[in-house]
Chain A
């Protein structure tokens, strides 16, 4: 092999090595860019989910408060209902006639 051919072969070998190194750099760079992108996407998701969580927690608090208020109102209404029912029952209870009550009182006085 002549010196010229040897040099050319060495040049080709080095050129191939440079290309391989470049290729390796590319794949590593893609990996980094991909990780950065995934981190960015996860952070965006995190922000979105956190906001959604906050909203849901707020909503949950509001609903719980509304539920408690409704429960209290229901209890109060139930209590008023019981009183009203008792009163109604009392009012609706059959009473002795005037003649009978007079007779009962007279009998009592005679005892």
Chain B
């Protein structure tokens, strides 16, 4: 190591190095030298590469630029030891993590510096990223959500470029031995638990090298990473006091979080109905009866109250069946006014006694065992205000996986994706923050519901859930899409779907026109829209 620093730089770029192709390593270093922001140091820790040319090349660059430092390890200690050597040597205010074969875009550091300068208390910054192939072309841009702690439990989505306050990295103990392969996930989980402010820069500032054997090409390239990742998430849950078990997710690099619901919580299912019957998979069924039957059958939670708000025409036979299915857990609330979904739910909640309320359409059928526990348990976290389930049409295509509000409209991203698909970046299989969820199956704390005034009865048919989600967000609470709470939703079997313009305007008058979604950017939610935007102008000439 050469003692040549003149003063503390803004950024210490820490790069553990182990046997990269030399030309790729050079490109990586050149991408740092090419930054339009000069206040950085690059600490390259050679982890005893077998190829002697690797440290030689770095030493040559270090001779030419005093901001570059080479640390040579005497043994191969793997990525954690090498990264920690870099962290120990860092003198910058922030540490930026750069892999030895990846590239920074020329304004990466200046854009991050701008984001940091906006607030005094920024402790962690992450940016969007894409991949760079062997021919130098970039592809697969990952437009990430704004800070999304629930999603970070299900996947290391912040990844590259990550810039962390150096003092905080040291405070939490830097990288930990034993978490190789997921050491960055583990570090970011620990840093974000203590970070005062976390900022997302929604621009691709990092090119992740996609070469054979790298995780960028094959998510299964480092199988040991999954075990480390599960352990990192589990320890994170334990530290936060979240009663849950982390496990492997739908694909490598994703993790499931199975929460346990406090048995003492009373949960009220509030179901508005007219008692209609419909053909489902060729069999006629009283929808509300099957909704209640499946909801109760697929939960192990004992203290469940079923509040059914039924219009006058509801057949007596249906009510009788409900009594049979739900027994003394059933509360029947007659409703005699004209159809108003919001009012029916509000009336139902007012007749309920649970401190957790679940809104349930009568045309749903619970699929996953423990759907209720997974949906309701996250509400024990005080900053979670609303949760919504994953819903499928009867053909098992996705009906709902969270709302996204953008482009002056309210959307259901990923509609008609199939049940076995994971989404562009795991969106369909990972619990995550969303802007909104459908009221066809959603849960809230009772105090939150009353605090925001429940559903707006000025919106009897459509967008009442959109308005509710905006209200939850306005109180600073998070809304979660719960991927492991699955139900069928035989949508609009009981009511004709027709949206009136005044309904949209009513929402806009309160909350304004949505432009870009914070959690499911339009480039992810509607990639076709992005493609149209990218078409050359002369095509339309």
Interface, chain A (partner B; CB < 8 A): 19-20, 22-23, 25-34, 36-38, 40-41, 44-45
Contact = CB atoms under 8 A, between A and B. Distances in A.
A37 B450 CA distance: 16
A58 B347 CA distance: 54
Contacts of B453: 26-34
B456 A34 contact: yes
A12 to B, nearest CB: 11
A37 B346 contact: no
A37 B510 CA distance: 5
B200 interface: no
Contacts of A34: 453, 456, 458, 510
A37 B471 CA distance: 8
B353 to A, nearest CB: 10
B346 A33 contact: no
Interface string B447-471: 0001111111110000000000011
Given A19-B351, A26-B346, A37 B474 contact: yes
Given A29-B454, A30-B454, A30-B457, A38 B346 contact: no
A26 B350 contact: yes
Contacts of B456: 30, 34
A37 B470 contact: yes
Interface in B313-362: 346-347, 349-351
Given A23-B350, A27-B457, 15 more contacts: A20-B350, A22-B350, A23-B347, A25-B450, A26-B346, A29-B452, A29-B454, A30-B454, A33-B474, A36-B474, A37-B471, A41-B509, A41-B510, A41-B511, A41-B512
A39 to B, nearest CB: 10
Nearest to B333: A19
Nearest to A38: B510
Nearest to B467: A34
Interface residues of B, number: 21
A23 B470 CA distance: 21
A44 B512 CA distance: 9
A19 B451 CA distance: 16
* A-B interface, 3 closest residue pairs, ranked by CB to CB distance from nearest: A30-B453, A29-B453, A22-B350
Contacts of A32: 453
Contacts of B458: 30, 34
A19 B347 contact: yes
A30 B449 CA distance: 10
A78 to B, nearest CB: 40
Task: Summarize A's interface: helix, strand, loop or mixed.
Answer: helix
A28 B451 CA distance: 11
B452 A38 contact: no
A28 to B, nearest CB: 7
B458 to A, nearest CB: 8
B408 to A, nearest CB: 14
A7 to B, nearest CB: 20
Nearest to A35: B510
A50 B102 CA distance: 44
A22 to B, nearest CB: 4
A30 B455 contact: yes
A52 to B, nearest CB: 15
B350 A19 contact: yes
Given A38-B510, A41-B512, A29 B347 contact: no
Interface in B11-43: none
Interface in B451-499: 451-458, 470-471, 474
A96 B511 CA distance: 87
B328 to A, nearest CB: 16
A41 B452 CA distance: 17
A33 B471 contact: yes
A40 B475 CA distance: 13
A18 B217 CA distance: 61
A38 B471 CA distance: 11
Given A19-B347, A33-B471, A37-B474, A26 B454 contact: yes
A45 B510 CA distance: 12
Contacts of A25: 450
28 contacts: A19-B347, A19-B350, A19-B351, A25-B450, A26-B346, A26-B350, A26-B454, A27-B346, A27-B453, A27-B457, A29-B450, A29-B454, A30-B454, A30-B456, A30-B457, A31-B453, A32-B453, A33-B471, A34-B453, A34-B456, A34-B510, A36-B474, A37-B470, A37-B471, A37-B474, A37-B511, A38-B509, A44-B512
